[in-house]
Structure 1
Amino acid sequence: MEATLEPRLVMKGEPGKPFVGGEFFVASYQRGYRWGRDEVRRLLDDIRGNAAAAEKRRALPADYYLQPIVVLRRGDGWELVDGQQRLTTLFLITKYVATKFSDARVEYSLTYETREGSRAFLDDLDMTRRDENIDFHHIAEAYDAIVEWFGEQNSAGQAAIDIHSALSKWVFVIWYEAPAGTDPNDLFIRINRDRIPLTDSELIKALVLSNDGAAEGQSSRQQEIAAQWDGFERDLRDEQFWAFLTGKTIKQSTHIDFLFESMTPPAGLKTRPRYWTFGKVLEQVSRSGAAAFWSDVVERHGLLTGWFNDRELYHRVGYLIATGASMVDLIQSSRSLTHTAFRDHLNELTRSRLGLTRSDLSLLRYDHPRDAAKCTDVLLLMNVQTVLGSSDPGSKFSFFAYAQQGWSLEHIHARHSEDLKTEQQRRDWITAHLAEINRTTWETGAREAVEAVIAKMTAHLSLPQTRTDTAGFEDILDRVFALFSAGEDQSDDEAIHGLRNLALLQRDFNSKLNNAVFSLKRERILELDSRGAYILPCTRNVFLKYYTPSAEQQLSIWSPQDQGVYYDKLVETVSDFLRADPVSVAVEAA
């Protein structure tokens, strides 16, 4: 027998709606009542806050779900396995409300196995007994906090009526009855010692597989759903699939929640309230039945795996998710469009997210704060498009690697020293570049400049470790950049910070390569590549000089010619996702 689950109102409300009732037994394996003033007030504040939020929206309060109450059948009553603190506090609140509002009545009782006379104490709340034992003391303190909270309201009587209305109309406990035969000690240990709370997905599973939830209660149907559930969870745990769906690599205790959350978006809410997903699923099941709900889940899983296995959709959707699009919105759009129209829609979304013309693209700069993120989006699109356009039909861009490693913009050829702030960093830079200069074959006409800078670098390294020669280092830096810069104007902002001199590189690699000249970066990239490090395809192509015709290649420098062909290739690769320039539109109209 599967667990059964349903929402129950805290107090008796409309006829036919289940509510908390009966005799509850708190066994000795549990600790006693320990909630203090803060926990009690927080519960009351939460209930009042939900009502206040609804009043602001000029709407009725939404159903509000407290954490689960886990019980086992025990004779004519219940063994309370989890939820003792909440249920005891709710009992005390209803006892207070009953003193102010005659229609209020407590429909359940509590007995602590370890405290003789506990039921009578709770029923009577005889405060002369508050110091008989530690449990009675804490219960009395909690009741004092309840009296204090109501006393702080504008009218204690009206507040009692409002709380009664909440507890009898829209505040529910999630009633979770464990299957007959469950060992209560084992269940208690799982929930409390290991601190593994019941999740939305566990509650949904209990709902769907319960005797009331499964189609006609058939065990074969339950087994089928359970097998599908495990299969969906397995699929969603695939790191590539998960990164494609979420743009993240963070693992969760359960991944199937993603399917349910995509079906229950918290419209207008910044964060998803506790058990929001379960509450919304419960509404769907109540409205159309568990079989129809599960059919929707199967369809949702099929839709997403279909996108993942379709090479074009994989890259289109994956790029949008990686740049901040909502999977919920994409799913919603797909429901009203044909396959062809949906593909066109994805292209238009990409075009809209970039929001760039060719002219805009040429003006993007690394050193403009608003441009940096846009540069990243453009370069990512170039990489995605490059893989999608590959002649290898099995090649796929790894959104997992992209999400996992953290990428940042890198100057292909550096021209600044802002990050070289300590003398040790400067010495390390000089040492690395001195070795690179000595490895490079120089033309005869450059030998004089080469020997001069080598002499200055050697002299700087021979200074005492405590000696700082900032001006001397800046001179060395300028000379080294001049050697490796093919004579281009180093003051040209586009040559320094434009897209023609930018690529994406893992942040940890970037920090090691920052401020290095092209030839040294190229050597390090090739070394990383030979060790199997993941490098984005276009970044690899840049440092392999893939975009430059072989007759024009100079492997030690990133020349204006290199920049030009690289930028032309970038524009060509992303051109389908650029908007038309206003001037071009005017010419075409004419």
Structure 2
Amino acid sequence: MTLVGKLEGMTVSMQGGSGMEATLERRLVMQGDPDTPYLKGAFFVAAYQRGYRWGRDEVRQLLDDIKGNLTDAQKRREFPGDYILQPIVVLRRDDGWELVDGQQRLTTLLLITKYIATTLPGSAVAYSLSYETREGSKQYLENLDRSRRDENIDFHHIAAAYDAIAEWFSEQSNATQAAIDIHSALSQWVYVIWYEAPPGTDPTELFIRLNRDRIPLTDSELIKALVLSNSAREGAHFSRQQEIAAQWDGFERDLRDAQFWAFLTGSSTTRSTHIDFLFESLTPDAGLKARPRFWTFSQVLEQVAATNIDAFWDEVVARHGLLVGWYKDRELYHRIGYLIATGTHVTDLIEASKSQTHSAFATYLRQLIRNRLDLTAADVSLLRYDDSRQAEKCVEILLLMNVETVLASSDQGARFSFFEYALRGWSLEHIHAQNSQEFKKEEQRRDWLVSHRAKINRTTWNTDAQGEVDALIRGIDKHLALPPTRTDIDGFQDIQGRVFTLFSTDGDTSDEDDLHGLGNLALLQREFNSKLNNAVFALKRERILELDAQGAYLLPCTRNVFLKYYTGSEDQQLSFWSSQDRAAYYDTLIAVVSDFLKPDVITSGESD
């Protein structure tokens, strides 16, 4: 990147619109190219700050990061990309600069160059540091008189950091070459973001603001300063800056809406600033999961330098409008939300939408879902819970059923909540358990027996079943009467099997495949799932209805299952989940998702 020179002298109108100005630019740590700004001058660390506290880990991490950036570039046979450190925040003084934020980094960088000078004489930064609370601190840093290290806690930490630097260089395969490499890095591609606060700023208040909860300046704060400053430099009227500031606040407010955020990201996790998402979506490699420090800001710098601030901001406004438009369009909202919830990145969809009409894009989304599932109806019939790869497909199919069910609702205001889906955490649940997984603890077995004993007693049984019911209750009571430390796994499994049989319909010949297939699976919050796991349908239904009455969030199709919505009234048996129930539920599932399944392949020899 060659933008540093272009940004020299940039002025920034602060967001309050007070007319006060600040300076924002990138500066090399050491003097390098004559046209590139670098750190210089006398820095004063006021008493309101704590002293130097970086330890061995922080020092080594900084050196490792710089070396890692160089190593990665060498592997690619390229010159290292710019490495940008956290911002340095300063206020102008008559005799130099008050260092409001960044003393740990500047002190460490000074110490690194002190060590490099032992190999490369003359190597030095062009700045000095002094601490208001430590008399002689400037001289101590210049001379590093080790005999003074125990004079105070700051000198002690500074000396320890220098020792850590020396240790790091001694561990390199070639200490001299390592010194040359780090010197080259600091004078060619390691930058700080220089942020000079407006004249008249209260330094103590600014320090508290920057360091409360140790929250540094974000990409978006730096981008905002860049946008407002350039709009001022390009001759825009002050009202233009006010307009941008108002739009900025509106975009941040929109993106903080939990439903909108989850729709775009598939996540319920918030950030300190959400508008960063817009800028990330406009930059190359927008799908990166991990971004280097201030990577987005650097990319925006390039875009602004290549065009102008108005073009960049117009693109931001258009991107926001596109995403809001998708959110408000009921069909696009559900299809896009589903794709993002199942792993598609929104920027891929943005790119695909650029050359398509609305209807063509809607068709594209349906095809994209079809391609993602990559299933025929025959494939769906073979999906099983007890195969981890197939179980993932089961989740995708069931989620699609829920999303499409809401979309097909006659209530045009109904919308699937991707926020609730992202927030709660969902897992596959057997609607009716038959062969439960083995309980690991006796306490779990006893809890299961207590809850199912209560359900048996609450159920009205036919006269011909009463004998089996009474015998089963006696068996449960006998097990529960055993000492709590007594384990009778065989006895429990016998009782458990009899309970499952009792709560199964006569003539139900379901095999293991039926019970692990989609006709017996639903999505349930993990929290609820853990409480309902291994229960018979009748007990699960009872508890699901209790949760529903309490206002708990249930996916619509899961709720429908336990309300027996999919079973015809003539086949309703509320205490059982029969083969008829499974077939009706499965048929509905296939009907709902059929538009997203590939056609079944008819092999030779088959006929209509």
Shared fold (TM-score, shorter chain, > 0.5)? yes
- Whole-angstrom CA distance in 2 between matches of 1:464 and 1:129: 70
Alpha carbons of structure 1 residues 391 and 26: separation in structure 2 relative to 1, 3 Å: same
Alpha carbons of structure 1 residues 289 and 488: separation in structure 2 relative to 1, 3 Å: farther
Alpha carbons of structure 1 residues 142 and 481: separation in structure 2 relative to 1, 3 Å: closer
Match of 1:384 among 403, 414, 428: 403
CA apart distance, 1:381: 0.6
In structure 1, the residue matched to 2:216 is 197
Match of 2:520 among 501, 505, 510: 501
In structure 1, the residue matched to 2:228 is 209
In structure 2, the residue matched to 1:434 is 453
- Whole-angstrom CA distance in 1 between matches of 2:40 and 2:23: 16
Q: 2:427–2:526: 8 Å Cα contact kept in structure 1?
A: yes
CA apart distance, 1:492: 0.5
Alpha carbons of structure 1 residues 501 and 71: separation in structure 2 relative to 1, 3 Å: same
Kindly report which structure 2 residues correspond to 1:44-443, keeping only aligned pairs within 5 A, or say none.
44-75=63-94, 77-97=96-116, 100-101=119-120, 104=123, 106-123=125-142, 135-136=154-155, 138-210=157-229, 215-216=234-235, 218-264=237-283, 266=285, 271-443=290-462
Q: 1:244–1:321: 8 Å Cα contact kept in structure 2?
A: yes
What is the number of equivalent residue pairs in this alignment?
589
Q: Provide Cα deviations, 1:261-314, integer angstroms capped at 9, x if missing partner.
A: 222354796621222222222222222233222222211111111111110111
Counterpart residue identity of residue 473, structure 1: F
Kindly report which structure 2 residues correspond to 1:555-566, keeping only aligned pairs within 5 A, or say none.
555-566=574-585
Alpha carbons of structure 1 residues 306 and 215: separation in structure 2 relative to 1, 3 Å: farther
Counterpart residue identity of residue 246, structure 2: A
CA apart distance, 1:229: 1.4
Alpha carbons of structure 1 residues 95 and 453: separation in structure 2 relative to 1, 3 Å: closer
CA apart distance, 1:144: 4.8
SS in 2 for 1:210: helix
In structure 1, the residue matched to 2:59 is 40
- Whole-angstrom CA distance in 2 between matches of 1:295 and 1:585: 57
CA apart distance, 1:467: 4.6
Counterpart residue identity of residue 574, structure 2: L
Q: 2:385–2:516: 8 Å Cα contact kept in structure 1?
A: yes
CA apart distance, 1:327: 1.5
In structure 1, the residue matched to 2:573 is 554
1:29 and 2:48 matched: yes
Alpha carbons of structure 1 residues 355 and 176: separation in structure 2 relative to 1, 3 Å: same
Q: 2:230–2:309: 8 Å Cα contact kept in structure 1?
A: no
**C-alpha RMSD of the superposition:** 2.8
In structure 1, the residue matched to 2:33 is 14
- Whole-angstrom CA distance in 1 between matches of 2:242 and 2:308: 18
Q: Please, which runs of 5 or more residues in structure 2 have no aligned partner?
A: 1-12, 15-21
- Between 313-322 and 455-464, the greater mean CA deviation after superposition: 455-464
In structure 1, the residue matched to 2:10 is none
Q: Provide Cα deviations, 1:52-78, integer angstroms capped at 9, x if missing partner.
A: 111111222111001111101112621
Alpha carbons of structure 1 residues 289 and 448: separation in structure 2 relative to 1, 3 Å: same
Alpha carbons of structure 1 residues 301 and 321: separation in structure 2 relative to 1, 3 Å: same
Alpha carbons of structure 1 residues 531 and 134: separation in structure 2 relative to 1, 3 Å: closer
Match of 1:471 among 483, 490, 495: 490
Alpha carbons of structure 1 residues 35 and 586: separation in structure 2 relative to 1, 3 Å: farther
Alpha carbons of structure 1 residues 214 and 194: separation in structure 2 relative to 1, 3 Å: farther
1:486 and 2:497 matched: no
- Whole-angstrom CA distance in 2 between matches of 1:171 and 1:346: 43
Alpha carbons of structure 1 residues 216 and 77: separation in structure 2 relative to 1, 3 Å: farther
TM-score, reference length from structure 2:
0.89
SS in 2 for 1:360: helix
- Whole-angstrom CA distance in 2 between matches of 1:115 and 1:479: 80
Q: Provide Cα deviations, 1:447-479, integer angstroms capped at 9, x if missing partner.
A: 443344344334444555555443333232222
Q: 1:214–1:222: 8 Å Cα contact kept in structure 2?
A: no
Q: 2:280–2:286: 8 Å Cα contact kept in structure 1?
A: no
Alpha carbons of structure 1 residues 499 and 34: separation in structure 2 relative to 1, 3 Å: closer
Alpha carbons of structure 1 residues 465 and 21: separation in structure 2 relative to 1, 3 Å: closer
Alpha carbons of structure 1 residues 29 and 363: separation in structure 2 relative to 1, 3 Å: same
- Between 196-205 and 424-433, the greater mean CA deviation after superposition: 424-433
In structure 1, the residue matched to 2:536 is 517
Match of 1:541 among 551, 560, 571: 560
1:571 and 2:585 matched: no
In structure 2, the residue matched to 1:457 is 476
SS in 2 for 1:260: helix
- Whole-angstrom CA distance in 2 between matches of 1:134 and 1:356: 66
- Whole-angstrom CA distance in 1 between matches of 2:494 and 2:53: 70
Alpha carbons of structure 1 residues 528 and 69: separation in structure 2 relative to 1, 3 Å: same
- Whole-angstrom CA distance in 2 between matches of 1:146 and 1:53: 22
- Between 21-30 and 261-270, the greater mean CA deviation after superposition: 261-270
- Whole-angstrom CA distance in 2 between matches of 1:39 and 1:513: 47
- Between 167-176 and 107-116, the greater mean CA deviation after superposition: 107-116
- Whole-angstrom CA distance in 1 between matches of 2:413 and 2:360: 25
- Whole-angstrom CA distance in 1 between matches of 2:111 and 2:166: 10
Alpha carbons of structure 1 residues 448 and 192: separation in structure 2 relative to 1, 3 Å: closer
Alpha carbons of structure 1 residues 479 and 100: separation in structure 2 relative to 1, 3 Å: closer
Q: 1:436–1:520: 8 Å Cα contact kept in structure 2?
A: yes
Counterpart residue identity of residue 53, structure 1: D
Q: 1:69–1:175: 8 Å Cα contact kept in structure 2?
A: yes
- Whole-angstrom CA distance in 2 between matches of 1:86 and 1:468: 61
Q: 1:208–1:214: 8 Å Cα contact kept in structure 2?
A: no
Q: Provide Cα deviations, 1:369-426, integer angstroms capped at 9, x if missing partner.
A: 2211111111111010100011111100111111112211111111123254444433
Counterpart residue identity of residue 477, structure 1: Q
Alpha carbons of structure 1 residues 145 and 465: separation in structure 2 relative to 1, 3 Å: closer
- Between 470-479 and 532-541, the greater mean CA deviation after superposition: 470-479
- Between 227-236 and 139-148, the greater mean CA deviation after superposition: 139-148
- Whole-angstrom CA distance in 2 between matches of 1:314 and 1:27: 53
Alpha carbons of structure 1 residues 488 and 286: separation in structure 2 relative to 1, 3 Å: farther
CA apart distance, 1:164: 2.8
Q: 2:85–2:191: 8 Å Cα contact kept in structure 1?
A: yes
Q: Provide Cα deviations, 1:516-543, integer angstroms capped at 9, x if missing partner.
A: 2222222222222122111111111111
CA apart distance, 1:109: 2.8
TM-score, reference length from structure 1:
0.92
- Whole-angstrom CA distance in 2 between matches of 1:117 and 1:449: 92
- Whole-angstrom CA distance in 2 between matches of 1:583 and 1:144: 74
Q: 2:29–2:125: 8 Å Cα contact kept in structure 1?
A: no
- Whole-angstrom CA distance in 1 between matches of 2:345 and 2:453: 49
Alpha carbons of structure 1 residues 586 and 318: separation in structure 2 relative to 1, 3 Å: farther
